[in-house]
């Protein structure tokens, strides 16, 4: 079988470069074209010398990338994907959007949190939300996928079995999340200048981060009720990883054994979800460079609280890896193809 | 006036070395003696070359330190301070314990969480809990001070005005805390070996950390009711700093303005508490090497939640600095003496 | 063809765990057994949770590992490999020693720098020094390989073409090297305790590091003359990577063009050596998690000095990756098998 | 005595902010005014929240700062200080330039390495090069001081006694230097974006850094001969600190004892130079936040090489601290005033 011809739009951003890494290692896909506005005409290995001899392809413009490809990934700031989606739709190509333009079902949420409008409502109806552990059957064979954000992957995976089995109260959920700095992208900023972030740590966009409505959309969809959460992200002085520490009140009478049984049942067939061994907790290092979500569970009997902690690599399961997982489902490949490279220990 | 003669027992641990730094810069105190079990007979500047020419004193044993001093600080693992306290009590010396032996009022809590017993109950009744912002008048002139732990300083400072003014529900409080690694001490461990902690982040002792009953003791004391909290500490790959992100349900009708007014009123005369400017949040870097506690407040109206974030330097306001603040109160000095050295920006 | 059955002795050390990572991704080899003294009886994924579901094999003793394997790697402190080598020799198995026991040709050097003796001189004569870029033809098909150390790979690769082509004076060479801390191994120490190494940097074992005679042995072998160098290693507060900045006096009349031509010619067929683009210099990040050695060259015309900088990942080209490269040569595989996994950009 | 009224031009850059820290803690000086182009009109504590309550002064323009001050420090990019120097000269004020405009005696060097010209040659003749350990008597009482760069402080301090006593050959000296990233300033850049520099290390401006002629000027001045060195700086993923590893050929017959005696004699009265204890080497951590230069010496007898390692804090002895030391000399204060704050151990 010929390999799928893959194009990456925005290949020099961190998510784009991670997509490139994963496609270069994928047994059934190959790079057909890569684009960049800032570095057009340069070889990707001039921008990222680690790629030298692995991939020295020249960066071209996005139209040419689309023309050369069967599957297109876009890793762009929000607002720039709708036009690409229309073009791919017309030409019947698979489009997987790493950005936020197709994630929110309710246009009002998009208007409120992102400030833009939906240009082509029909396309938004076609778009499938690409969190495979919850929506696998909807993703299979589709051609327009909204790849979830990073926090919006970590938090629902931490809470799903408790919600599905009715173990927790749906109001009062707190998601205290901590992310490595690659999540903020490649463009230099004052706050992410090395001397400023190094040896620092703080919360940002407290109760006002754009991932809030997206997390709530997923939790509401899973529970069948409208769920509101308190979501506070923090910035870690490390490159990769998200740790989501989620708090929810347990319903009367629910035990730690109930909780663990629910999670084991819910995730027993999920190749990319690992429940921690007894007495162990998730670490961002254990999932670094992988598509795994590790989950640890504690019941605080003193206060009747479930503490569910999940860890993912924000660049992999939180972005490029999940996008490959979605591509595999869209194209009928094995869901794990290209996603099981053994990670380093440090 | 002669300077107070200060002794430090356990001077080569991180908290002891930080006490040394602060006393060396104190206008009304001087080092009389320093002890160490592991490094006895060596100069402190052999252990810590940064101190060379500032202090090249030889480490001696703890009995000799006590004999030479009017004020004794002990920075020792729990269980080792009770004997020192007895000796200081007999000789009418000021004893400020950085360890945990005198912090818990209820011996049953100590037995449950630390596994030891109180050897001399009378001494425990004499001991004052040294969190000056709450218990200043009790500390003044006293001779036996239980210096609080790090988390147990950060969390109550974040919540006190809300509790005192009845703005929040007392059940369901969550304290999600993150600490730099100096809090774990100087002894090398596998988890704090550089290659393991570097680029890592995780929760530990989830809902089972020994600071839990101590935080609850303070919050209960401030509120007059029994308060139970959910407390989850995390380990940051940085040297210093604690960020406490505290969540509580606001009582019906309480507004952001109410919250801010309460905090401003409560802390307006506190030299070591700073409320963040509008739109800013606390960072661990802004309090590094200082005795300050910075506090930021957000009301999440979507869920009726108060999010109070505090930042301290775990080695200063969370240990040695607060101990100096207590010494200043015990001896009738200005509370800020030796504690306002200007910190570096990076 | 059946896969080669590989055993790793000392699999829980950093080099051993890296070997495991690489073998798990190797197309023609599979893990037959792994040993550990400290963690015997545990699953490797209990020690390293990142390996969970990739490899949950139980750690056994070294005799059983040897019995199950055709190719044995040992990643042990020096002095422990000679017995294993004898056993492998008797049973006609391939043995690749990551340790130092077989690297030095002259027993007197071993006695002087390591303090031990050669137990079986015949074996030491059989041993081949496994730096494939220089000794490829000797390694092919052999069964006892002394895998070089990390600095001892980086420095000779930086200097070889200049030496081979007689471009530099052989006396007065300086190798100023900087290494990430994984090179110091997994055992916690005071100096590598996170709070001590973080934000620190210093030289160590100045002009007295054990890699000195090994580097000199290689350079002397390449030049046909006795070469002595000044070698100073430094410790970097990062996990992985070595940067070797090497200084040598250029012979009269040698130009930058001569130098670059010599390096291009020498390395044009080497898959794992990359010369930097014009105006670029090697970085440890560009070789992280790869088997590459990147080299940059500068001629300081003001002083007549060649500055040759090389970068490798101390755990890969400096240890486990080079060991796999040697295995590939020993077994007749393609030299790059299992060694071209695409690295992440950050 | 009234305190000296100090103005800082460019107070929001890293060197300016460090000057502010040191002046705020100086017993004989006080801040009269601070300027910033980018943040004019804001309080300095809005830019640097760590300064809140220590200094909430509003940033003004540079003319007003000069008008309010007796002593002016400028921490500006090169080319911007000459005009300020003229103004201060006319008004008979002390001007200490942290920038490079007055460092090079030979205008041709300035033209070659910086690309600018000297506007007022008379002023350049008045300027004194402010490295107090070498030029103390010239600095005393003067009004125009060229404060040295960071590398240009570390390297000459490492080599001076060997040069002065004729212990080393003056050709072939190598200075392999490594600097923390604050040396590159506050403006965000791609290379110093956290995810790029974190876990990275490399050489930059190899044999072409602008500090080269300045180091050579000092070494030539100390030796009375024209000295050329090979200078290679590297960038460390830490905030502060420079380690200079200097290599020089020892003259025939010079012993380690000769070397050590020369250094002890040369620096025995220097409060800010510390020679390492026997068997110890300098670390950047031991000088962090201090004005000290720590020096360690090794003689490599195998190759006849002196290895002199020096460590300074690039922001203190390499910039703001040395500037205060110069101010103290200019104004007749004790040279250590404001410069002996005890540093933290981590």
Angle at C179 between CA D158 and CA D195, to 5 degrees: 105
Tokens describing residue C206: 């100045």
User: B interface toward D at CB cutoff 8 Å?
Assistant: 14, 17-18, 21, 24-25, 46, 48-55, 182, 199, 239-240, 271, 274, 276-277, 280, 283, 285-290, 292, 294, 315, 340-346
Q: Which residue has the tokens 């495991």?
A: C20
CA distance to B143, B254, C163, per residue, from C246 (Å): 62, 67, 12
DSSP helix/strand/coil, C13:
coil
Going by pLDDT thresholds of 50, 70 and 90, the confidence category of residue C252 is very high
Tokens describing residue C142: 């052999």
* Range D211-229 average pLDDT: 97
Residue C174 has pLDDT above 70, yes or no: yes
Beta strands in A87-228, from DSSP E residues, in sequence order = 94-97, 128-129, 144-146, 173-179, 202-203
Residue D38 has pLDDT above 70, yes or no: yes
Backbone dihedral region for residue B304 (phi beyond 0: left; psi -120 to 50: alpha; all else: beta): left
Beta strands in chain B, from DSSP E residues, in sequence order = 4-9, 29-35, 71-74, 94-97, 128-129, 144-146, 173-179, 202-203, 229-235, 242-249, 273-275, 293-300, 305-312
Question: What is the structure's pLDDT at D1?
Answer: 62
- D150 catalytic, yes or no? yes
Identify the DSSP state of C343. Answer: P
Residue C187 has pLDDT above 90, yes or no: yes
Going by pLDDT thresholds of 50, 70 and 90, the confidence category of residue C149 is very high
* Range C260-281 average pLDDT: 97
ipTM associated with this complex = 0.97
Burial of C49 (0-12, 13-18, 19+ CB in 10 A): buried
Active-site pick, A150, A177, A293, A330: A150
Q: Compare all CA atoms of chain A with the CA of D237 and give the residue at the minimum distance.
A: A194
Residue C1 has pLDDT above 70, yes or no: no
Q: Compare all CA atoms of chain B with the CA of D277 and give the residue at the minimum distance.
A: B46
CA distance to A19, A22, A56, A67, D174, per residue, from A16 (Å): 5, 10, 15, 18, 42
Question: What is the structure's pLDDT at B137?
Answer: 97
| CB within 8 Å of B276: residues ≥ 6 apart | B282, B294, B295, B296, B297, D49
* Polymer length in residues for chain C: 346
More confident: D217 or C2:
D217
Sheet containing C229-235: order of strands: C202-203, C229-235, C173-179, C242-249, C305-312, C293-300, C273-275
CA distance to A5, A31, A91, per residue, from A88 (Å): 14, 17, 5
Cα(A194)–Cα(D176) distance, integer angstroms:
23
Report pLDDT digits (tens) over B106-129. 999 999 999 988 989 999 999 999
Q: Which residue has the tokens 């309480």?
A: B254
* Range A51-76 average pLDDT: 97
CB atoms within 10 A of CB A328: 23
Residues of B whose CB is below 8 A from C14: 195
Question: What is the structure's pLDDT at D116?
Answer: 86
Tokens describing residue C124: 């030491």
Going by pLDDT thresholds of 50, 70 and 90, the confidence category of residue B250 is very high
Question: What is the structure's pLDDT at B116?
Answer: 86
Residues of B whose CB is below 8 A from C236: none
Report pLDDT digits (tens) over B24-39. 999 999 999 999 999 9
Question: What is the structure's pLDDT at A274?
Answer: 98
Cα dihedral C289, C295, C296, C300 sign: positive
Report pLDDT digits (tens) over C227-249. 999 999 999 999 999 999 999 99
Burial of B125 (0-12, 13-18, 19+ CB in 10 A): exposed
Interface size between A and B, measured as CB pairs under 8 A: 157
Determine, for residues C46 and A277 on separate chains, whether the beta-carbon distance falls below 8 Å.
Answer: yes
Burial of A278 (0-12, 13-18, 19+ CB in 10 A): exposed
Candidates A43, A48, A345: best to mutate against C (most CBs of C within 10 A) is: A345
Residues of A whose CB is below 8 A from D192: 188, 193-195
Pairing of strands D229-235, D202-203: antiparallel
Going by pLDDT thresholds of 50, 70 and 90, the confidence category of residue C298 is very high
* Range C81-109 average pLDDT: 96
Question: What is the structure's pLDDT at C270?
Answer: 98
CB atoms within 10 A of CB C171: 15
Percent of chain D with pLDDT over 70: 100
CB atoms within 10 A of CB B269: 8
Residues of B whose CB is below 8 A from C198: 194, 198, 237-239
pTM higher than 0.95: yes
| CB within 8 Å of D71: residues ≥ 6 apart | D4, D5, D6, D7, D29, D93, D94, D95, D96, D327, D330, D331
Residue B270 has pLDDT above 80, yes or no: yes
Residue B274 has pLDDT above 70, yes or no: yes
Cα dihedral D148, D150, D154, D159 sign: negative
CB atoms within 10 A of CB A213: 24
Determine, for residues D188 and A186 on separate chains, whether the beta-carbon distance falls below 8 Å.
Answer: no
| Helix pair angle (D14-24, D321-331), 10° resolution | 50
Residue B1 has pLDDT above 70, yes or no: no
DSSP helix/strand/coil, C132:
helix
Q: Which of D133, D57, D127, D53 lies closest to D88 in space, CA to CA?
A: D127
Question: What is the structure's pLDDT at C116?
Answer: 86
Going by pLDDT thresholds of 50, 70 and 90, the confidence category of residue A116 is confident
In this complex, which of B14, B189, B194 lies closest to C198 when CB atoms are compared? B194
Cα(B145)–Cα(C88) distance, integer angstroms:
66
Determine, for residues A228 and B198 on separate chains, whether the beta-carbon distance falls below 8 Å.
Answer: no
Determine, for residues D345 and B50 on separate chains, whether the beta-carbon distance falls below 8 Å.
Answer: yes
Beta bridge partners of D177: D233, D244
What DSSP element (H or E) covers B112?
helix B107-114
Maximum separation of any 2 CA atoms in chain D, in Å: 63
Cα dihedral A223, A224, A227, A232 sign: positive
Beta bridge partners of A97: A74, A146
Identify the DSSP state of B96. Answer: E
What DSSP element (H or E) covers D34?
strand D29-35
What DSSP element (H or E) covers D202?
strand D202-203
Residues of B whose CB is below 8 A from A285: 196, 199-202
Burial of A137 (0-12, 13-18, 19+ CB in 10 A): exposed
| CB within 8 Å of C185: residues ≥ 6 apart | C13, C14
Tokens describing residue A172: 């009062």
Burial C249-285 (b: 16+ CB within 10 A, else e): bbeeebeeebbeebbeebbeebbbbbbbeeeebbbbb
Question: What is the structure's pLDDT at A1?
Answer: 62
* Range B327-346 average pLDDT: 98
Determine, for residues A188 and D186 on separate chains, whether the beta-carbon distance falls below 8 Å.
Answer: no
Backbone angles phi, psi at D58, to 5 degrees: -85, 140
Report pLDDT digits (tens) over D274-302. 999 999 999 999 999 999 999 999 999 99
Upper half-sphere CA count for residue D261 (Cβ side, 13 Å): 8
* Range B96-110 average pLDDT: 96
């Amino acid at each position: 079988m010929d390999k799928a011809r893959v194009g990456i739009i925005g290949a020099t951003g961190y998510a784009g470069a991670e997509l490139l890494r994963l496609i270069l290692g994928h047994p059934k896909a190959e790079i057909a074209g890569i684009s960049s506005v800032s570095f057009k005409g340069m070889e990707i290995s001039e921008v990222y010398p680690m790629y030298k001899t692995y991939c020295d392809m020249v960066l071209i413009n996005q139209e040419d990338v689309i023309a050369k490809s069967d599957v297109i990934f876009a890793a762009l700031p929000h607002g720039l994907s709708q036009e690409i989606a229309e073009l791919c739709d017309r030409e019947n190509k698979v489009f997987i959007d790493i950005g936020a333009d197709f994630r929110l079902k309710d246009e009002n949420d998009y208007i409120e949190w992102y400030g833009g409008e939906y240009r082509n409502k029909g396309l938004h109806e076609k778009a499938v939300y690409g969190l495979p552990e919850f929506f696998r059957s909807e993703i299979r064979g589709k051609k327009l996928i909204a790849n979830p954000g990073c926090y919006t992957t970590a938090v629902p995976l931490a809470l799903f079995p408790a919600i599905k089995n009715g173990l927790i109260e749906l109001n009062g959920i707190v998601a205290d999340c901590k992310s490595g700095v690659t999540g903020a992208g490649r463009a230099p900023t004052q706050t992410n200048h090395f001397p400023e972030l190094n040896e620092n740590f703080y919360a940002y966009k407290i109760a006002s981060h754009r991932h809030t409505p997206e997390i709530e959309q997923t939790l509401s969809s899973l529970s069948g009720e409208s769920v509101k959460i308190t979501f506070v992200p923090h910035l870690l002085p490390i490159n990769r990883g998200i740790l989501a520490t989620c708090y929810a009140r347990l319903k009367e009478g629910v035990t730690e054994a109930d909780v663990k049984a629910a999670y084991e049942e819910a995730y027993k067939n999920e190749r990319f979800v690992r429940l921690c061994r007894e007495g162990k907790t998730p670490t961002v290092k254990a999932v670094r460079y992988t598509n795994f979500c590790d989950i640890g569970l504690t019941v605080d009997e003193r206060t009747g609280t479930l503490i569910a902690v999940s860890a993912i690599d924000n660049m992999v399961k939180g972005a490029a890896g999940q996008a490959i997982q979605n591509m595999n489902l869209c194209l009928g490949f094995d869901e794990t193809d290209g996603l099981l490279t053994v990670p380093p220990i440090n």
